[in-house]
Amino acid sequence: MACQGLQKGETLASLKTESDGLKKKLEVERGKLNDVELHQVAEKTEVLGALSIKTRRVLKGHGAKVLCMDWCKDKRRLVSSSQVRTSTDLWTREHGVSLPCTWVMACAYAPSGCAVACGGLDNKCSVIPLSLDKDENLAAKKKSVAMHTNYVSGCTFTNSDMQMLTSSGDGTCALWDVESGQLLQSFHGHTADVLSLDLAPSETGNTFVSGGCDRKANVWDMRSGQNIQSFESHESDINCVKYYPSGDAFASASDDATCRFYDLRADREVAVYQKDSIVFGASTVDFSLSGRLLFAGYNDYTINAWDVLKGNRVSILFGHENRVSRVKLSPDGTAICSASWDNTLRIWA
């Protein structure tokens, strides 16, 4: 066995050399078509005026760190999850559902508005049908759909209530049939925890992007389970990935205190959003409706709004008293909601 090990060791080394060579070749190929930089193309675009974004609502009601939130398609309701429970929150009412697990790290609203999904340290992602009856015990109707071998970090419904995509600390993403709980496709390729995923906004809706602790952002084909593109330029864990509204690019937020912008057709990173004064990790990002603004939440309690084209920061949103865990644009782009470890959610417009 030992001599075979040596043989294997030799093979590993030669594979690694081949791998490094190929990596360099890929960079050369990418570089060949790199005829212009984003800020150069952006020179012709007019400068943004000053934005006056204010907190319009502060939603209190969670008794613990709020870890995730998602908007309902009706543009007013949202679901949020925290260290101890999940609740669906409206302008005026609150409907709390308790789940028997401590960190509910992921939650999502179903496209129909009739159910929510949530998951976390229980290694599962469950679907809870909502009800018009305020007093109904929703926890009783909870149904487990996704089963991972480690925590669930992100979940989203696809174009219908019937399918769900999850990302997990076990290094995989998976597509599930909600009704039967069957695993339809699993996505292997990350070499560490996957922390975030986002579905592409396209007419085919067949791809999604994921980011993880291996510093990689991977783009996947939902049909075949294949990893079709990969980007590795962050210097630390990627906490969040989000598609540009046209579906041809995406942004990522990382513990290395930067957010980056990747062009999928050019197959490369095209912008880095950073500042010497920003030293804490970015945990979450989302674009404004036109894609011109990138909102990013940081561990220093602030939200920064970046000009995607010109690369400069246009606004800082203060207000939270602890880490910002999630920012999400409302479905019609009229507001941004932020969730924070200070137990509150804020709506900005």
Partner 1 sequence: MQEQQTAFATFLMRYSPLEVIVVEMQDPKSGVTGSEQKLNVTTIPHVFAGKDIIAWIANKMKTPPEEAHVFGTMLVAFGYIYPLQNHKMLVMCNDTSLYRFQVNPCFLRNQLTNVFDVVAAIYLAKRNIRKKGMLEPYEQAHYNHLHKWLNHKWDFIVMQATEQYKAGKERKKPDRVVFDCQERAYWILNRPPRRTHSAMDCGPERLIDPNEDENMFYQQAIMRSKVKSSVSLGALVKYITTYKTHDPFLAPCQPSNPWQTDNDTYWTLNMRGVDVPTKMRVERWSFSLFELLTDLRGRDDFKVFLKKEFSGENLAFWEAAEELKWGTGSSMSAKAETIFKTFLAPGAPRWINIDGRTMGLTVKGLDHPHRYVLEAAQTHVFLLMKKDTFFRYLKSPVYKDIQKKALSPETHNFSPAQLEQNAQNRSPGIHPIILWQQEEEEKAKTAAASAPVDVKAMMSKIDRKK
Stretch that binds partner 1, among 137-145, 172-180, 275-283, 316-324 (CB under 8 A): 172-180
Residue with Cβ nearer partner 1 (54 or 275): 54
Residue with Cβ nearer partner 1 (291 or 319): 291
- Measured CA to CA, the distance from residue 291 to residue 329 in angstroms comes to 11
Residue with Cβ nearer partner 1 (144 or 191): 191
Give Cα separations from 27 to 24, 30, 338 (angstroms).
5, 5, 37
For the bound state, the minimum distance from the C-beta of residue 217 to partner 1, rounded and expressed in Å, comes to 14
Map the footprint of partner 1 across residues 106-145, applying CB under 8 A: 112-114, 130-132
Enclosing H/E stretch for 147: strand 143-147
Residue with Cβ nearer partner 1 (23 or 275): 23
Map the footprint of partner 1 across residues 235-294, applying CB under 8 A: 244-246, 248-249, 263-268, 270, 288-293
Map the footprint of partner 1 across residues 20-59, applying CB under 8 A: 22-23, 25-26, 29-30, 33-38, 41-42, 45, 48, 51, 53, 56-57
- Measured CA to CA, the distance from residue 172 to residue 240 in angstroms comes to 15
Stretch that binds partner 1, among 60-68, 99-107, 118-126, 173-181 (CB under 8 A): 173-181
Enclosing H/E stretch for 76: none
* Length of the chain measured in residues: 349
Apex CA 197: angle with CA 181 and CA 192, to 5°?
Answer: 90
Burial of 228 (0-12, 13-18, 19+ CB in 10 A): exposed
Candidates 137, 144, 224, 312: give the one binding partner 1 (CB under 8 A). 224
Q: Which tokens hold the place of 315?
A: 């606004």
Residue with Cβ nearer partner 1 (263 or 322): 263
Enclosing H/E stretch for 8: helix 2-32
Question: Is 147 a binder of partner 1 (CB under 8 A)?
Answer: no
Enclosing H/E stretch for 97: strand 94-98
Question: Is 19 a binder of partner 1 (CB under 8 A)?
Answer: yes
Residue with Cβ nearer partner 1 (174 or 341): 174
- Measured CA to CA, the distance from residue 108 to residue 318 in angstroms comes to 26
Inter-residue contact 218 to 227 (CB < 8 Å): yes
Question: Is 180 a binder of partner 1 (CB under 8 A)?
Answer: yes
For the bound state, the minimum distance from the C-beta of residue 64 to partner 1, rounded and expressed in Å, comes to 25
For the bound state, the minimum distance from the C-beta of residue 268 to partner 1, rounded and expressed in Å, comes to 8
